[in-house]
RNA sequence: GCCGGGAUGGCGGAAUGGCAUACGCGCGGGUUUCAAAAACCCGUGGCCGCAAGGCCGUGUGGGUUCAAGUCCCACUCCCGGCACCA
C-alpha cells in the first residue's frame, strides 16, 4: 500500500551517511546547540519509550540545524550493570559479549529510524577508553577529600552467601531461595555529594529555569534542607554527650524523653555497663528492630516500639534528668540518630508517649484553646503562643524559634545547624560488570589509590559468571593479586565496582571529544559545547541521575576541567511521558509490548516517528494505537500522492515565490496566508511551545488546503509549488526520508536536511477579512465578515448598523457595547 | 499525611479571559468497483424541532467578569513524587 517506504528510507539513510551530513566539529565561529537524549542501557533492543525519546530529539536536532545552528547530537550506551550478569548466566555467555552484541544491534535499530546522530562520537561506558576516566575522576575526588569509606548495611542472603540488590529482595526474602534477607555491615565507598547540597539547592531557583517545575520541586524535596539547632544531653553515668537536631528549638521546655536509634553508638556502650539480664533484654529489642525491613521501619502507620533504658541525660536548659529510650522510629541516617522527645508537639512522639505512659507537657498554646497534657488526643504541631517556657512565655511561634535559638547560642546550650535529607552517595557495588574502583588493599599501607599513570585498572573480560551474587573477580587471583603502589609488597586489588550512575554522570562531556586520551575530555571542546542546551528523557531520573550529573559538573568545574561559568550541565530539560497500551505501561510482564521493529517493517520509520510525536504532547503519557499509526501513514501517503500526481505541473512551475502584493484573488490570498501562517505556527510550536503534536496538526491542515486549492492560472500553480516546498520543508524534521525523496523528485539537487527552515512573509500573515463574532449578553447570535483592522469605534458602528444584529436586539434597551477589534462585539441589553 | 500535576465528544487531544471540541482516530452515509481493499466526498457533543432555530454542555458547588475550559474559593476523583526527616 502506498509508496515504497523501504526503498526510500534505505536510500536516504545511505545518502546521509555517505555525505556525512550529520557530522559536526567544534567551531567557535558558529552558534552552537547541544541536543541530548538520555542514553540507553543496552538491554537487547530499543523499546517504544526509547523511540519516543529519540524521535523528539532527532526532530529538534534536524529543526535546529535547518535554523542555522551548529548542532551536536550524539548517542551512546550506558553499558555497565547487573542485567548483563544475569543474561550471561541465562544464555551461557559473557557480560562483555552480550553487551557489545546489544550495542551493535541497537545502533542498527537507531540507524533504521533515520536518527541524525554523529555516530563517530558514540560512547560506550564499558569501553576501557571511557571507564579509565571514571577511575581518573574518582581519584580526583579522592584527592579533594570527597571520597571516604564507611561501614554501611547491605542486603545479605545467608543461604547464598551473597549481597542482594534492593530489587532482588522479594517480600523480605531472597529472590531465589526465599531465605529472609538480613542486613549486614560492609565497609563501603562513599562520595560526599552533601558538600554540594547547598549549591545543588540554590541553583534550582537561579539556574534551572528551563526545567519543568515538577522536577525542580522533586529535587528540592529530595535535597530536603531544614534549618534548626543542635543541642546536647549530658549523660554523666556513661561519660557521653548525646547530640540531637531539632527544627523546633522553641519546644525545648516540652522535652519529656530522649530517644536513640537502635543503631546508635551509645546503645553499644550501654550494653557494656548493664547487668547481664538487662543486657539480654536490650539486645533482644535491638535485634527485633534490626529484623524489621527498612520499609516497615519507615512506614508512618507502623507500630512504634520502645525500650526504656535505666539512664538519663541532663535537660539542656533546666539540667533536670530526662529518661533515655531506644525507639524503632528513630533513623540512624538522618540527623544524629537521636532526638529530643516533645510529645505535645510532635505526633510521632505523642503516639510513643501515649503507648508507654510518658508524660506530655504542652509548651505552645493554640489561639483560643488551652491544651492539657493529660487530655490531649493529638499533638499540636501548628503555631501558637509559648507557655511553660520561662522568659519566652507568650511569644508567638515564628518569633519564639529565632529568639530562643539566639538565646541558646549565647548561653552555649545549642548551635544553629542546617540539615539535609540528601545522603552521601554510596558508590561501591559488590558486582563484576562495572568500573573497577582504582584502589589497592595493602596489609602494611592500608587502602591506597592506584597511581594515575597505571590507569585504567582493566576489568577482565574473559570470565564466566556463575552466580549473580558473587563477583567472578574474587576468583581471579591473577587479577586480584598485585603489588602495593606505595611499598611494592604483596597487595590485593579492590574487587568492588562503581555504581553505574557514576558512568552516566559525565558522558555528555565525553561526547564533546570522544577519542581524547589525555583527559576525560578536551577543555576547548567542552568550553564550546557545554552546557547541554536541550536534554530529553524520562521523569524517572528526576532525582538520582539528574542530581548526580549536576554534582559532577560542579566538581569538574571546581577542578578547572570545565570553565568556571559552567556549574549546571543541562539548561533546558524536557521530560517525556510513558508509552501506554491498554491502560498500562508497556511491559513484558503485562504482555502489552509493541516491538518497534515490527511496526517499522510494516509502516516505515517516517510513519512511526510521525505518529509518536502526533499522538500526544511530549510530557503526557502516550496511548499506543495501531489505528493511529495507520492514520499517520495515511497522511504521508496523501503527501506522496499529491506530489506524484501533480509532478509535471509542480516541476514546470519554478519555486520563485509570488508576493502577497501581487495577488488580488481572495482564494489565492487566503491560500498564500495559509502557507505562511503554517510556517509561523509550526516554528512556534516546535521552538517555543515544544508542542510537536499541534505542529503536525498544522501540517495536516496545510495538506488539506493543498488538496482543496484548484489552481487555474500560472500564479495559482506557482502558489501551489510554494505550498509544497513549505510542506516538505516543515515536515522534514518529523519524517525525513519521504520528504527527501519528494524533494529530489521535484528536481532539487540539495538535501532537504540541509535546506534552511522557511521564514514566513510578514504581509502574508495579516488577514484582509475577519469574522466578527456578535454576542448578545454573552451568547453568540451572529457572525459577520468585516474588513480587518477596524478600530473599536468603527467596529461598533459597523456591527450595530447590521440588519441581522438590529433584528436580534429589536425592542431592547442597550446597556453597553464591548468591542474587541478583529474579534468580537458583545451587546449587553436589558428587557 | 505532605508536595506537585490533572479531569474537555465514543477515543488521543486543540483552544494569548473572546466562535468550546482544531488535527487525527473511530463511527454513519455516499462515490468508485462484478465485489472487496485502497482512495475520495459528506456528516458526526446532547436534547427539542419537518425546518428555521432554540436550549443545555469542558469533574462538582459557589464567586469575579460584558464574557470563564481558562481567573478566585471550596470539594470529589485520578496520576506522580516524598513519607516516622526530628
pLDDT in tens, A192-237: 999 999 999 999 989 998 999 889 988 999 999 999 999 999 999 9
Where helices occur in A224-298 by DSSP H, the ranges are 265-273, 276-291, 294-297
Closest nucleotide over all strands to A330 (CA to C1'): B84
Q: What is the mean pLDDT of residues A549-560?
A: 97
Nucleotide nearest to A701 (CA to C1'): B23
Counting residues of chain A whose pLDDT is more than 70, the rounded percentage is 96
Q: Is the pLDDT of residue A187 over 60?
A: yes
Structure confidence at residue A184 (pLDDT): 79
**pLDDT value, residue A767:** 87
Top-confidence residue, A33 or A182: A33
Q: What is the mean pLDDT of chain A?
A: 92
**What whole-number distance in Å separates Cα of residue A204 and Cα of residue A209?**
7
Distance A2 CA to B35 C1' (A): 22
C-alpha cell at A55: 524521535
Spatial contact of A244 and A335, defined as CB atoms under 8 Å apart: yes
pLDDT band at A93 (very low <50, low <70, confident <90, very high): very high
pLDDT tens readout for residues A653-674: 766 789 999 999 989 999 999 9
Q: Is A620 helix (H, G, I), strand (E, B) or coil?
A: coil
Which residue's CA lies closest to nucleotide B24 at its C1' atom? A631
Protein CA A53 to sugar C1' B80 (Å): 19
Other beta carbons within 10 Å of A185: 12
Distance (Å) from CA A781 to C1' B47?
A: 20
Closest nucleotide (C1' vs CA) to A332 is B85
Mapped onto helix, strand or coil, the DSSP state of residue A496 is: coil
Reported as a single tens digit per residue, the pLDDT across A421-430 is 898 998 988 8
Residue with the three cell numbers 499541534: A694
| B65 nearest neighbour residue (CA to C1') | A778
Question: Of all nucleotides in the shown strands, which has a C1' nearest the CA of A642?
Answer: B39
Q: Is the pLDDT of residue A729 over 90?
A: yes
Which pLDDT belongs to residue A496? 93
Query: In this structure, what C-alpha cell is assigned to residue A737?
Result: 526520508
pLDDT the model gives residue A587: 77
Strand pairing partners for A226?
A419
User: Vertex A454, ends A449 and A455: CA angle to 5°?
Assistant: 85
Q: Is A642 helix (H, G, I), strand (E, B) or coil?
A: helix
Å: A436 CA to B32 C1': 70
Contact A808, A781 (CB under 8 A): yes
Under 8 Å between Cβ of A483 and A490: yes
For residue A423, what pLDDT is reported? 87
Residue A1 has pLDDT above 60, yes or no: no
Pairing of strands A306-314, A364-365: unpaired
Cα A365 to Cα A250, A318, A362, A402: the distances in Å are 12, 21, 7, 18
Nearest nucleotide (C1') to alpha carbon of A698: B23
Distance CA A97, CA A753 (A): 36
According to DSSP, residue A210 is labeled B
DSSP string for A644-693: HHTHHHHHHS-SPPPPGGG---HHHHHHHHHHHHHHHHHHHIIIII--HH
Mean pLDDT for A284-304 is 74
Looking up cell 536536511 gives: A753
Query: With DSSP H G I counted as helix, E B as strand and the rest as coil, what are the percentages for chain A, rounded to 5?
Result: 45, 20, 35
Nearest nt to the A633 alpha carbon by C1':
B24
Q: Does the structure show a pLDDT above 90 at A805?
A: no
> Which of A110-124, A127-141, A298-312, A616-630 has the lowest average pLDDT?
A298-312
pLDDT tens, residue by residue, A138-174: 999 999 999 999 888 777 777 776 676 666 666 667 7
pLDDT of residue A580: 86
> What kind and span of H or E run contains A779?
strand A779-787
Using the predicted structure, report yes or no on whether residue A582 has a pLDDT greater than 80.
Answer: no
Residue A777 CA, nucleotide B67 C1', distance (Å): 8
3-state secondary structure of A376: coil
Rounded to whole angstroms, the distance from the CA of residue A594 to the C1' of nucleotide B35 is: 34
| A347: nt with nearest C1' to CA | B84
The answer to whether the beta carbons of residues A204 and A216 sit under 8 Å apart is yes
pLDDT at A448 over 60: yes
Unique residue bearing C-alpha cell 529510524 = A113
Query: Whole-angstrom Cα distance, residue A465 to residue A473?
Result: 10
Find the residue closest to B84 using CA and C1' atoms: A300
Q: How many angstroms separate the CA of A813 from the C1' of B76?
A: 43
Helices (H) and strands (E) in chain A, counts: 27, 34
> Measuring CA to CA, how many Å separate A465 from each of A24, A90, A103?
41, 10, 20
Strand B bases with any atom < 7 A from protein Cβ: 3-5, 11-16, 18-20, 22-26, 38-41, 54-55, 66-68, 80-86
Of all helices (H) and strands (E), which one includes residue A130?
helix A128-143
Q: Are A550 and A569 in contact (CB under 8 A)?
A: yes
Nearest nt to the A213 alpha carbon by C1': B4
| pLDDT for the residue A296 | 66
Summarised one tens digit per residue, pLDDT across range A329-387 is 998 888 899 999 999 999 899 999 999 999 999 999 988 788 899 998 889 888 899 99
Residue A782 CA and nucleotide B17 C1' are separated, in Å, by 21
How big is chain A by its Cα radius of gyration, in Å?
Answer: 34
Q: How many CB atoms are located within 10 Å of the residue A29 CB?
A: 5
DSSP A180: B
- Which nucleotide across the nucleic acid strands is nearest to A214, CA versus C1'? B4
For residue A389, pLDDT beyond 60: yes
Residue A195: CB atoms within 10 A of its CB come to: 16
- Distance B36 C1' – A646 CA (angstroms): 28
Determine the Cα–Cα distance for residues A540 and A575; give it in Å rounded to an integer: 9
pLDDT band at A613 (very low <50, low <70, confident <90, very high): very high
| pLDDT band with cut points at 50, 70 and 90 for residue A295 | low
- Predicted pLDDT at A663: 92
pLDDT of residue A169: 67
Through-space separation of residue A779 CA and nucleotide B53 C1' in angstroms: 15
Q: Residues A711-729, buried b or exposed e (16+ Cβ, 10 A)?
A: beeebbbbbbbbbbbbbbb
Q: What angle do CA A12, A16, A18 make, to 5 degrees?
A: 110
The answer, yes or no, to whether the previous bond of A736 is cis (omega within 30 of 0) is no
Q: Which of A43-47, A133-137, A581-585, A714-718 has the highest mean pLDDT?
A: A133-137
CA of A678, C1' of B46: distance in angstroms = 34
C-alpha cell at A778: 454573552
Helical spans, DSSP H, in A530-646: 544-558, 596-603, 605-614, 626-645
Please calculate the CA angle A518-A524-A529 and round it to the nearest 5 degrees.
Answer: 115
Query: A626-645 vs A714-731: helix axis angle to the nearest 10?
Result: 140
* Pairwise pLDDT comparison (A592 vs A750), residue with the higher score: A750
Count of CA atoms in the C-beta half-sphere (13 A) of A682: 31
Cis geometry, peptide bond prior to residue A733 (ω within 30 degrees of 0):
no
* pLDDT value, residue A10: 97
Residue A367 grid cell = 489561639
**What b/e string do you get for A601-630 counting C-beta neighbours within 10 Å, with b at 16 or more?**
eebbbbbbbbbbbbbbebeeebebeeebbe
- Asked if A152 contacts A188 with a C-beta cutoff of 8 angstroms, the reply is yes
Q: With a cut of 70, say whether residue A545 has pLDDT above it.
A: yes
The pLDDT of residue A31 = 98
Amino acid at each position: 500500500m502506498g509508496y515504497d517506504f523501504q526503498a526510500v528510507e534505505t536510500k536516504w539513510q545511505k545518502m546521509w551517511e555517505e555525505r556525512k551530513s550529520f557530522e559536526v566539529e567544534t567551531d567557535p565561529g558558529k552558534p552552537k546547540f547541544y541536543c541530548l537524549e538520555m542514553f540507553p542501557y543496552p538491554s537487547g533492543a530499543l523499546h517504544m519509550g526509547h523511540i519516543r525519546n529519540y524521535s523528539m530529539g532527532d526532530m529538534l536536532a534536524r529543526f535546529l540545524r535547518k535554523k542555522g545552528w551548529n548542532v551536536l547530537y550524539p548517542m551512546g550506551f550506558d553499558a555497565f550493570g547487573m542485567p548483563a550478569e544475569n543474561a550471561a548466566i541465562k544464555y551461557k555467555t559473557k557480560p562483555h559479549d552480550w553487551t557489545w552484541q546489544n550495542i551493535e544491534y541497537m545502533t542498527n535499530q537507531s540507524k533504521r529510524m533515520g536518527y541524525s546522530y554523529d555516530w563517530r562520537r558514540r560512547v560506550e561506558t564499558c569501553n576501557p577508553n571511557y571507564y579509565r576516566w571514571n577511575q581518573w575522576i574518582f581519584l580526583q575526588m579522592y584527592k579533594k577529600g570527597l571520597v571516604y569509606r564507611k561501614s554501611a548495611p547491605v542486603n545479605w542472603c545467608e543461604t547464598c552467601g551473597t549481597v542482594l540488590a534492593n530489587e532482588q529482595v522479594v517480600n523480605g526474602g531472597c529472590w531465589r531461595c526465599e531465605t529472609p534477607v538480613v542486613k549486614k555491615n560492609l565497609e563501603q565507598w562513599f562520595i560526599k555529594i552533601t558538600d554540594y547540597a547547598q549549591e545543588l539547592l540554590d541553583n534550582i531557583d537561579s539556574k534551572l529555569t528551563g526545567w519543568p517545575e515538577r522536577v525542580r520541586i522533586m529535587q528540592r524535596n529530595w535535597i530536603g534542607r531544614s534549618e534548626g539547632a543542635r543541642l546536647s544531653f549530658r549523660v554523666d553515668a556513661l561519660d557521653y554527650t548525646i547530640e540531637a537536631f531539632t527544627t523546633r528549638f522553641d519546644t525545648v521546655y516540652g522535652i519529656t524523653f530522649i530517644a536513640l536509634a537502635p543503631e546508635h553508638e551509645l546503645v553499644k556502650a550501654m550494653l557494656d555497663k548493664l547487668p547481664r539480664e538487662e543486657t539480654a533484654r536490650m539486645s533482644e529489642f535491638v535485634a527485633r528492630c534490626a529484623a524489621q525491613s527498612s520499609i516497615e521501619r519507615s512506614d508512618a502507620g507502623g507500630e512504634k516500639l520502645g525500650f526504656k533504658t535505666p539512664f538519663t541525660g541532663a535537660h539542656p536548659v533546666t539540667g533536670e534528668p530526662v529518661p533515655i529510650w531506644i525507639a524503632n522510629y528513630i533513623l540512624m541516617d538522618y540527623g544524629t540518630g537521636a532526638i529530643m522527645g516533645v510529645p505535645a508537639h510532635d505526633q510521632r512522639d505523642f503516639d510513643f508517649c501515649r503507648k508507654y505512659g510518658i508524660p506530655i507537657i504542652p509548651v505552645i498554646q493554640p489561639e483560643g484553646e488551652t491544651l492539657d497534657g493529660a487530655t490531649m488526643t493529638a499533638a499540636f504541631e501548628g503555631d501558637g503562643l509559648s507557655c511553660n517556657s520561662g522568659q519566652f512565655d507568650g511569644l508567638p511561634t515564628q518569633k519564639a524559634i529565632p529568639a530562643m535559638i539566639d538565646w541558646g547560642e549565647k548561653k552555649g546550650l545549642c548551635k544553629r545547624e542546617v540539615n539535609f535529607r540528601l545522603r552521601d552517595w554510596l558508590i561501591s557495588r559488590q558486582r563484576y560488570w562495572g568500573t573497577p574502583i582504582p584502589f589497592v588493599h595493602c596489609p602494611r599501607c592500608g587502602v591506597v589509590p592506584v597511581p594515575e599513570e597505571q590507569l585504567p585498572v582493566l576489568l577482565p573480560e574473559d570470565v564466566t559468571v556463575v552466580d549473580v551474587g558473587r563477583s567472578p573477580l574474587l576468583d581471579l587471583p591473577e587479577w586480584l593479586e598485585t603489588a602495593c603502589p606505595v611499598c611494592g609488597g604483596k597487595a590485593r586489588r579492590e574487587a568492588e565496582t562503581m555504581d553505574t550512575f557514576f558512568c552516566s554522570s559525565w558522558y555528555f562531556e565525553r561526547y564533546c571529544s570522544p577519542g581524547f586520551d589525555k583527559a576525560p575530555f578536551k577543555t576547548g571542546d567542552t568550553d564550546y559545547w557545554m552546557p547541554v542546551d536541550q536534554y530529553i528523557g524520562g521523569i524517572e531520573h528526576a532525582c538520582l541521575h539528574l542530581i548526580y550529573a549536576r554534582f559532577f559538573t560542579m566538581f569538574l568545574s571546581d577542578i578547572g576541567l570545565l570553565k568556571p561559568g559552567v556549574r549546571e550541565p543541562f539548561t533546558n530539560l524536557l521530560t517525556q511521558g510513558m508509552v501506554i497500551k491498554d491502560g498500562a505501561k508497556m511491559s513484558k510482564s503485562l504482555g502489552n509490548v509493541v516491538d518497534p521493529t515490527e511496526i517499522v517493517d510494516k509502516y516505515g520509520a517516517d510513519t512511526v516517528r510521525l505518529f509518536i510525536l502526533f499522538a500526544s504532547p511530549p510530557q503526557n503519557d502516550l496511548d499506543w494505537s495501531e489505528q493511529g499509526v495507520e492514520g499517520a501513514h495515511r497522511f504521508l501517503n496523501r503527501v506522496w500522492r499529491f506530489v506524484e500526481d501533480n509532478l509535471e505541473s509542480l516541476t514546470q512551475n519554478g519555486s520563485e515565490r509570488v508576493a502577497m502584493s501581487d495577488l488580488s484573488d481572495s482564494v489565492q490570498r487566503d491560500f498564500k496566508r495559509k502557507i505562511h501562517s503554517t510556517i509561523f505556527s509550526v516554528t512556534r510550536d516546535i521552538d517555543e511551545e515544544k508542542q510537536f503534536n499541534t505542529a503536525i496538526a498544522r501540517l495536516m491542515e496545510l495538506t488539506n488546503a493543498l488538496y482543496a486549492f484548484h489552481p487555474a492560472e500560472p500564479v495559482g500553480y506557482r502558489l501551489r509549488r510554494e505550498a509544497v516546498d513549505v510542506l516538505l520543508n516543515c515536515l522534514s524534521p518529523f519524517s525525513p526520508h519521504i520528504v527527501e525523496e519528494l524533494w529530489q523528485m521535484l528536481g532539487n539537487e540539495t538535501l532537504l536536511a540541509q535546506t534552511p527552515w522557511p521564514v514566513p512573509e510578514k504581509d502574508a500573515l495579516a488577514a484582509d477579512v475577519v469574522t466578527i463574532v456578535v454576542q448578545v449578553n454573552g451568547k453568540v447570535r451572529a457572525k459577520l465578515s468585516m474588513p480587518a483592522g477596524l478600530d473599536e469605534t468603527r467596529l461598533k458602528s459597523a456591527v450595530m448598523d447590521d440588519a441581522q444584529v438590529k433584528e436580534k436586539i429589536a425592542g431592547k434597551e442597550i446597556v453597553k457595547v464591548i468591542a474587541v477589534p478583529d474579534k468580537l462585539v458583545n451587546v449587553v441589553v436589558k428587557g
